[in-house]
Every structure is written in C-alpha cells, then in structure tokens.
Amino acid sequence: MMDFVLASHNRRKIAELEAILRTFAPDQTKFRLLSLEDIGVTEEIAEGGATFEENAIIKASVPASRGYWGIADDSGLCVDALDGEPGIWSARYASINNFDAGLSADGNNNMLLLQKLKDVPLEQRTAKFVCVIAVCPPLGKADPITVRGECPGIILEAPRGTEGFGYDPLFYYEPAGKTFAELTADEKNEVSHRARALTELKEMKIIK
C-alpha cells in the first residue's frame, strides 16, 4: 500500500482534492491518503516561491522528506484587468495589501478584489483559476512532477452562492451559467481548475 500525504492544512481544499482523487482510483485498498497532521506536521509551510509551480513543489517536498509521497497544490485567481493579480498571493491578497474590512480572510480578499475592479466593465473582468499540482516521490528518489489546470471565467460585480470557498462566489463559469459558489461540490469537481490538473495527473497513473 502506498501512502500519499496531501500537503495542506486547508480542510476544504483537502476534501476537494480527496474527493476527486478517489474517483480516479476506485480500488482504495492500494493507497492511503493522509494529511500533514497524520504525519505530525502542524506548522504552516512557508511558500517562498515566485510561481504556482515553485510553491506546489515546496509544499509537496515536506512529506517527501519524511519518506512519503507528497502531493500539494498551489492555486489562485488571475484577473486579466489586474495584470494577473492576485495570482500566487490569492489566499493572502488582503493581508499583503493591508486591507481589512472586518470580514473573514475570504471576505476581505473578495471585498478588495471588488474594490480594485469597481471601474472595470463586466466584459473586461475576465479571469482564470489556476491550479498546479506537484507530486514529490519519497526522499528525493526522483524529480518532482507538476501538472497544471486552468478554468476561465468572469469576475462578477457582487457575490452569488453559498458553496465553495475563496473567490468562488465572484467567479462566474459561463458554460454552467453559475458562479462556482452556486455549483454543487460534485458539479464543481467536474469542471474546476483543480479537477483539470488532477485529470492530467491521472494520465500519469501514479495513483492506480
């Protein structure tokens, strides 16, 4: 049995990754999916990379250094009208801009994004969610593998929906006619940037 560690403390992200991964590998007797807490890692992993790829590898290398297969993703929202912001800073967008509207971290991030786009017409609010997944073999036995998935959308002028997390309430996915926060978890897991990256990973047959 192979042990894979999802290198994240974000419970919602872990649940989303795990749900998609398990659809790829129905024979769950061949592997286990563990969290960082399961292997005794409780501290946050510092993300010092300049790209999604670099950050994903940094995170996945932590469990790999302890003898496990490490899987990590680095994801973010890239808005064309903002020259790709918030990008790799998506989760900390408000904090790095010293912006605090008295909301949750997600709420502050969304509020700041809306403020920065307040004079941008809807047709110019194009964006994409990006997900890069890195897989690091145990103890550096092979080079890390990275795959990338992207999902295009539009940033609305007001949030819609109550599902998902992060920027999902603002991200309008045109083929569905809904924001990511209006999709069910199963619907989102079929089309999201994370699902697209994991589809690429599936083709490599690392988890069987």
Answer yes or no: are the C-beta atoms of 78 and 128 closer than 8 Å: yes
Structure tokens at 115: 């403020």
The SS3 of residue 70 is strand
Mean pLDDT by 10 residues, the chain (208 residues): 82 75 65 85 88 96 94 96 98 97 97 98 98 92 92 98 95 98 93 90 69
Smallest CA-to-CA distance from 190 within 65, 7, 20, 43 is with: 20
Looking at residue 167, what is its pLDDT? Answer: 98
Domain with residues 2-203, CATH architecture: Alpha-Beta Complex (3.90)
Each domain of the chain, given as residue ranges in start order, spans 2-203
- Amino acid 169: pLDDT: 98
* Predicted TM-score (pTM) of this structure: 0.89
The pLDDT score that the predictor gives to residue 201 is 82
Which residues are CB-contacts of 133 (< 8 A; sequence separation ≥ 6)?
56, 71, 72, 73, 146, 147, 148, 149, 194, 197, 198, 200, 201
**pLDDT given for residue 27 in this prediction:** 62
Sequence-separated (6 or more) residues with CB below 8 Å from residue 43: none
The residue ranges of DSSP E strands in 137-184, in sequence order, are: 145-155, 171-173, 178-179
Q: What is the pLDDT of residue 19?
A: 76
Report the amino acid identity of residue 2.
Answer: M
Instruction: Give the residue numbers marked as catalytic.
Output: 74
